[in-house]
Amino acid sequence: MRNTSGCGGNGGGAGAVAPLMGDAQPARPVDGSGRTGLGERATGMAVAVGVVSAGVLFFALDLVLVNAEGPLGSHPGVGLVVALAVSAVVAAAVALTALAVARRSVWALVALLAGLAAVVVVAFPTRIDTHESFRPQPNERSSCTGLTFRYYPPETSDGSSVDYCVGVESPLPVG
């Protein structure tokens, strides 16, 4: 068979093609800037990271702001709106950061996700003590190295207040 492509080599292709030698691997595709990353999948990954961070942040802020003993006191509606707004803004910033990082490098995205997971483990409020109503007898289960705050359900006349830790908690001995 005669080569009519004018390129020589492997036949009807658009250009010359050389075989791979030994253990050589073909080059990975790169975007226009020369960076290797997730390409088109970066947007989906960034949206997923943003949605998860919005949910986690909202649940954490909800405990602090929709709280009779919190900074907004007996205004749970205002606390809910503020928690939603702050969660949306921070989630958008995290998603944009994840998008930029994912386009640059997969390993940088893995490092970013590991860092976010570490922040969630340390900074998400954890229950360390419960105070039963009418009998203020604390039954601490853990001590806290960090910030503590007390949660009492808004618009409730008889409920249990709960102490939460934002930081590192360590279990107390039983007894």
Helices 41-65 & 76-104 angle (0-180, nearest 10): 150
Place of tokens 């986690």: 56
pLDDT tens string for the chain (175 positions)? 555 555 555 555 555 555 655 665 554 544 455 455 677 788 888 899 999 999 999 999 998 888 888 888 878 889 899 999 999 999 999 999 999 998 888 899 999 999 999 999 998 998 887 766 566 666 667 888 889 888 888 877 777 788 888 988 888 787 5
Neighbours of 101 (CB within 10 A): 23
Cα-based distances in Å from 57 to 25, 26, 53, 83, 85: 43, 42, 6, 8, 11
